[in-house]
Amino acid sequence: MLVVLLSGAFAAMIMSIGLSWQAYQPLPYPQSDKLVWLQGDMLDEHDKAIMENAISTPVAWQLAQDKQLFDKASAVLYSHSLLRGSVVEPRIETTYVSDDFFSLFNIALKEGRWFSQSNELGTAPNEVVVTECFVQQYFPDENIIEQSIQLDDRRYIVVGVVACDESEPQLYQSNRMSEVFLPFAQMMGERITGMDHLAVRSDLFLAGRIKQENAQLQLMLLQAQFQAAFEQAQLEQGISGRATLRFSLSPLADKLKGQLRTTTQWLAFAGVGLLVITLVNAFSLYLLDFKAKQNQLALAIVLGAKRGNLQLEQWRYIALIFLFASLLAIGIANAGIWLMLFWSKETLAHAVWLTLPWWSCLLVVVFAQLCALVFVKLAMSQVSFKDIRSQLSGSGKGQVKQLPKAMSQALLGLQIGVGIVTMSFAFWLLSYFGGQLNTSSGFNSNNLYFVELQQSNYDRSSDAIQARYNQAIINLSALRQLPSVESAALAGVLPHEFVFLEPLSLVDDGSDSVVAYLQLSGPNYFSTSGLRFIAGGGFSEDDLAINSSGKKVVLNQLLAQRLGVTAADIGMTIYDRNQRPITLVGIVENTFSHTSQAQALAYLPFNFISGNILVRAKAGEELDLHTVTALYKQQNPSQSILKLVDIKLRMQQLNKTAKLSFLAGLMIALMMLIQVIAGMYGLLGYLAILNAPVFNIKRLVGAKVRDVLIEQCWSRASLVLVAVVIAVFLSLVVASMFGILSPLLGIYLLFSIVLVGCIVLVLELHHVTKQI
């Protein structure tokens, strides 16, 4: 049991060291200390964030070329395209980058060249650079250089092939690997329009190597220009918004390793607590065992043994135990890292970078041996061999074998304090992530699919909208006729995704507007998705007519609360971003995901800017990409499916981080509980055995069993009280550091205090009763 407990604590130590090294070591790029990314936020009139990572293509394009701000910089836009040439056209991960992207991040060119540089609008060449992985998967037996490939409706010439490795920074999605790189200038067209300034995007980034002198001042000057262009664009589009943009430069390491650093902090805290209480338990048990062998040591001295030889013998004994535990810990730590990689690949940026450095394992082995040496030194210091006769004559008496009172009190107090603090945070982790796992997504993801149409034309002319309207209705009708389909409805994005923004107000001047996320949905959307109405209803077929005069909106609970709207207000008038009146027709439950939590959400009738459809299959049936693609091609051969999303699988993927954190909290709580019970059971048991002669003397002079038990309980209660005061203070400090100071944590702290206190008193009563 001692080896198991020690190996678990040492494994946590190895993982903490390894993860901390990965989290805080420099990025593997040239001059990584100067690498930054542009963090943009859209704020309302109260300086509250409406949208994070809110930058537009003109901002990224112009800042990337500002040589007063950056030595090198690249705008980066993540996208998808379909590779034409087969029946089921594969979706390709495409990334638009500026000239300096490849040299900034040490992306190696294997053959060919980079695409031609162009910083002039409207002159971007139709050239692409592809990765080795792309070539191996789609053109394994061909010389790809100077070949033509078609992505969506455009053809490109492949001019270079780059290495397929982990050097590409994961700015957008964890472990997303780009397959094709395109010139960012192609995103800009021939000129910058007002809509370009308004179109802030969450998949757009700017990264670069900063010039240290006056960087923030230069950014502030440029921010004023971008804000003026943003406000002018709102006026041109008839939008009376008061949103402002704010930009700041943050270290790129914080962007790439922020989640890992948070995880590392929690693990380090739990690991230190586990290590401390494990060493306390190990030392207390070893010291008591050492004291019980005191007569043997005294006899050995009489027979001529040297103190140094006895100490060496003791060190060999305990060092072997610690060595075995540390070696076992190395295996456990490697298994833990593998499990972390398996669980967090989709949620933790650059998870593949996680490895245990060899020196962390060596460090723990050395630390374990030092602990063994300290144990022996401290144990030997508690034994005096000056008066051998006294040692031998008293060797069988309990008082000689007893620990010094100060040491026994310190050991018990340390166990109690560390156990309270660590268990309270473990219970908080269990509660927080358990609550997330039990939070309903708001919709029924079983047999639910999202069909996203590949689309490059977003023209808003009446003819273009009419054409998309006709095609969407045809696709919707065809899907509903599939034998495996139960229902289908038009939908702009996935039910749990938040992309577009829409300010809503209760007054026609927009003075009290609340900015919410926007979902575009058609009739039967709520019944298909499984979203339940709290009040009112959804949209009808008439609401989808292009020239429909009736404007309607459905709010979710969170947005209704922020606007001060209740079920009694169904039918009231609300005003959109252009102060046009729209009618409130329903309130539905919140949608929830573990990455973005619940957000204020408004549902408006589908406007046919896109042609995406939400589909629910019948129980036991599945949709596959080949079937849906064939169906769409039958309706219109020019149509292509960008992706078919199984929403249940997607939600399970989003749950992985919460599940891992929940399991980690459960494991920490159980290990701490085992450590506290095991350590206190052994220590209190030994102390009770060694104090048995004292208990018997008290009984002989007239004390009752109840009196002895009450006396011992009061003695332990006073120690628990002191430990509780220290534990509460330490818990407040740690909670403030992690930003989780809340009444809920106080409840779990109180629960841990009661639990540990009960454990102490029950064990004390158990052991003392056995000895009386």
Per-residue pLDDT band at 386 (split at 50, 70, 90): low
Contacts of 255 (CB under 8 A, 6+ apart): 37, 171
User: What per-residue confidence (pLDDT) applies to 671?
Assistant: 74
Nearest to 496 by CA among 440, 543, 455: 440
Kind plus residue range of the DSSP H or E element containing 157: strand 154-162
Reduced DSSP (H G I as helix, E B as strand, rest coil) percent helix, strand, coil of the chain, to 5: 50, 20, 30
Residues 702-752 pLDDT 10s: 778 788 888 888 888 888 888 888 888 888 887 887 777 788 888 888 988
Better-scored residue on pLDDT, 436 or 325 = 325
Residues 360-384 pLDDT 10s: 899 999 999 999 888 888 877 766 5
Per-residue pLDDT band at 405 (split at 50, 70, 90): low
Nearest to 690 by CA among 399, 294, 410: 399
The DSSP call for residue 356 is: -
SS3 string, 24-87, reads HCCCCCCCHHHEEEEEEEEECCCCCEEEECCECHHHHHHHHCCCCCEEEEEEEEEEEEEECCCC
Q: What's the rounded Cα separation, in Å, for the pair 760 and 679?
A: 11
What average pLDDT does this structure show over 222-234?
A: 84
User: What per-residue confidence (pLDDT) applies to 354?
Assistant: 79
The DSSP call for residue 611 is: -
How distant is the alpha carbon of residue 335 from its chain centre? 20
Residues 512-528 pLDDT 10s: 778 888 888 999 999 99
Better-scored residue on pLDDT, 397 or 51 = 51
What average pLDDT does this structure show over 254-267?
A: 80
pTM equals 0.74
Q: What's the rounded Cα separation, in Å, for the pair 179 and 93?
A: 5
The DSSP call for residue 99 is: T
User: What per-residue confidence (pLDDT) applies to 37?
Assistant: 92
What average pLDDT does this structure show over 485-508?
A: 87
Mean pLDDT (the chain) is: 83
What average pLDDT does this structure show over 412-423?
A: 80
User: What per-residue confidence (pLDDT) applies to 295?
Assistant: 66
What average pLDDT does this structure show over 76-97?
A: 87
Better-scored residue on pLDDT, 752 or 88 = 752
Per residue in 554-587, is it b (16+ CB within 10 Å) or e — as a string?
bbbbbbbeebebeeebbeeebbbbebeebebbbb
User: What per-residue confidence (pLDDT) applies to 399?
Assistant: 42
Q: Is the pLDDT of residue 581 over 80?
A: yes
Tokens (6 digits) for 737: 């550091």
User: What per-residue confidence (pLDDT) applies to 251?
Assistant: 92
User: What per-residue confidence (pLDDT) applies to 218?
Assistant: 80
User: What per-residue confidence (pLDDT) applies to 589?
Assistant: 94
Residues 599-610 pLDDT 10s: 889 999 988 888
